[in-house]
Structure 1
């Protein structure tokens, strides 16, 4: 860990805000007793609106193109497919308090803050409108705007150049091990976010601002 860090870069989904498509599809796929049909939820997210399908929106594909592609494969599920982005905010129940508190403390202390996120170019603005702290970054690089996604080093280089970062003096927090590996190879001081308690301990050990 460097003696002092000059900036912090946060991932967003499942670092600053919770994101889980199952939250929406448990509402959509319900049994007659109004309990979630977990089997249908699993099938739909593994077969129709898959992780790989969603990643293409993170890479810049439009929602209209994505819906057309998925409906072409599964026309009987057109309403459920359109719900993925039509009701996208229902997948985001709220913020993750520990990381948001750290972000606010760093902001109050005047530490430069940046965001680097795999997020669709159409869904990020509506999400940022919900959460004020997502509008507090000095720089935010959104994969859907750039046409490249983490863990590709190219998107890290976009942020480094745009924000004028020295990776050796910059903290990077992400929930993806692959993204953490890419950042570490570029010299960032990394934390793989999996547990709020472990994050708080790391944040303090790094000498970052605490309220």
Structure 2
């Protein structure tokens, strides 16, 4: 008997806005599809180290997270995402002391009382890097975050990163479990509003079973 489940992973750049205003963004697109004995590991963190009520502008210079894949796992695909407040896009960051550059970046802004608040987000394929690194601490640094005015004035300073790893789990082969995994990428600014989009390109099993994960970059610790 084959058990089929659809694990739908939606990767969104939701940049926190402290005040309601008109905004712009880019819709979701599919960047990866796979079907097989696969699972997903998620990692990431924030460069904000204090909440808005304490210090709206406080940031650290690096962020880390421990990745722990099961024994025998084989990495199939890995993507690194990062996002921050700022007028200029920073397309290069450092992950475990290695420079990582993206050719896929977004920038969007919203206007409030005549002031423009800009944010950006990037992603890139880091499959080979994760295969080499394996398990352990992943530390991201050298992310450019603008934490002065006007962002700090509305507690809208943001800086985050996110790592998604699709891997083959050897134990799943024994159970003949097939997972459909989709990764979508987009960039939206939202605050005091709703967000609607349509996802496609996946097949659900019967009965329907699946998971939904998303990446939110918020202007808070």
Check whether TM > 0.5.
no
Q: How high is the TM-score relative to the length of structure 2?
A: 0.26
Q: How high is the TM-score relative to the length of structure 1?
A: 0.27
Q: Which has the higher strand share?
A: 2
Q: Which has the higher helix share?
A: 1
